[in-house]
Structure 1
C-alpha cells in the first residue's frame, strides 16, 4: 500500500509529437490514469503531452474503509461534511512537485494546464489556486473546491488570479451532488477573474481550452 509520504506511481503518458507543453490530469476516486490517457489520445494535439497521474492506494472512509486509489480521504460527499484537510494539502504538494519537475525539464509553468475529474478535479482546483507558479489554466470536471468551508481567499495565490478555468458538471452525476457545481462556481468567481471562467459539458471543450491556452510554440 502507498502511504501518504510515498511518491506517486509513474503516470500514464500520452506523448507529444513535437516540442511539448503539458496537461497534468488527475482521475477520480477508485480509478487510475489509464482510462483518461485513452480519452485524451482521442483528442490528441501534436504539441501537448498528457500526464495522467495515478493516485496512491489508501483507505477511504466514504467506502467503509476499503483501500483504493484515492488522492485523499473522503468522509462524506455532502456540503456540510468534515474534510481531510491535511490529506488534501499533502496530495497537493505531490502534484506541485510533478509540476516543478516538468518546469525543470524545460516546460515553463504557464504552458502547463492542470485538470481532473471528481476527486481529482477537486485536488486540481485546490492545487492550481494555491500554486506559486503561474499555470496555463485549470479543467474541473464534476468536482468541488476543497475544503469547502475553510478555503479562504487569502489561501489563493495571486499568480493564478487571471487563470482560465473550464468547469464541467454532469446534471445526472450520481456521486458528486449537482449543488457542488453552483457552490464551486460562486467560489471561483471570488478567487479568479470571472470573465476567465467557462462552464460547459463536452470533452471537445477541453480540447478547445487546451489549444487556446497552449498554442504551438
Structure 2
C-alpha cells in the first residue's frame, strides 16, 4: 500500500442528521469498498454521529494469487498461524490514525470517535485502537481477529486505551475466519485491557457476513459509548 492515503478514493460518509458531536470510522473487509457499510450505517444511524467508511487502496494480495484488489494490507494465508504483513499492517494503521487526527482537527474529540471494521477491516481497527495515542470511545470488531498478536503487550506501551470498550461479533458458521479464532482474539484482548469492557457475541448459523441482529447490537453499543452531548 502506498504510504500516502490519497492512494484510495475519498471515504463514503453518512453525515450526522444534526451537528456531528461524535464519529464512527468503519473499515470494510478484503475486496470490498466502504459504500456497502455506509449504506448499512445509514439504516441504523444516530442523529449526532457521523459515519466515515474509507475505501482501501487496491494492492496485490498473496491470498488472491497476487492479483490486485482493495485491501488494507497483504494476507498470505487464512491459517491463524500464518506469517503476517507486519509492515503493511503498521502502515495501514498509521493511515487510520491520520483519519482520527483529521476528525479531531474537525472538532470531534478523540474520546468521541469510535473505530470499527469487518474481517480484515476489523483486524486493522483492533490493532489501531490498541496502539493509538488517542483515547477512543471504543471498537466494533466484526468477524475478525487481532493481528500481530505476538507483538502485544509491548505494542501497548504509551497507548491511551487500557480501558478500551470492545464489541466483538462473529458468526458461528464462518468458513473464512473461524469463530474459534475470534474467541481466542477476544481472550487475548481481555488480557490487554479491562476484561469487563470486552464483549464477545457469537451468532448461530451466521457465515462470514453481518446479520440484522448483529447490527442492532452495534447500534446499541454506539449509542451507549457515544451518547448525545
Query: What TM-score, normalized to structure 1?
Result: 0.96
Equivalent residue for 2:173?
A: 172
Residue 57 of structure 1 contacts residue 67 of structure 1 at CA under 8 Å; is this kept in 2? yes
Residue 78 of structure 1 contacts residue 177 of structure 1 at CA under 8 Å; is this kept in 2? no
Query: Offset at 1:9?
Result: 2.2
SS at 2:160 equivalent: helix
Residue 141 of structure 1 contacts residue 168 of structure 1 at CA under 8 Å; is this kept in 2? yes
Equivalent residue for 1:81?
A: 82
Residues of 1 paired with 2:219 and 2:105: CA distance? Answer: 25
Residues of 2 paired with 1:133 and 1:6: CA distance? Answer: 21
Does 2:31 align with 1:30? yes
Equivalent residue for 1:205?
A: 217
Does 2:50 align with 1:49? yes
- Deviation digits for residues 154-210 of structure 1 (CA, Å, limit 9, x no counterpart): 212441111110000111112112221121011101111000011225111111111
Equivalent residue for 1:67?
A: 68
Equivalent residue for 2:211?
A: none
Equivalent residue for 2:153?
A: 153
Size of the aligned set, in residue pairs, is 214
Residues of 1 paired with 2:174 and 2:109: CA distance? Answer: 35
Q: Runs of 5+ in structure 1 lacking a partner? A: none
Equivalent residue for 1:6?
A: 4
Equivalent residue for 1:117?
A: 118
Superposed CA RMSD in Å reads 1.1
SS at 1:58 equivalent: strand
SS at 1:159 equivalent: coil
Q: Which runs of 4+ in 1 moved over 2 A?
A: none
1:175-194 aligned at under 5 Å gives the runs 175-194=176-195
SS at 1:140 equivalent: strand
Equivalent residue for 1:18?
A: 18
SS at 2:141 equivalent: strand
Query: Offset at 1:6?
Result: 2.7
Residue 132 of structure 2 contacts residue 159 of structure 2 at CA under 8 Å; is this kept in 1? no
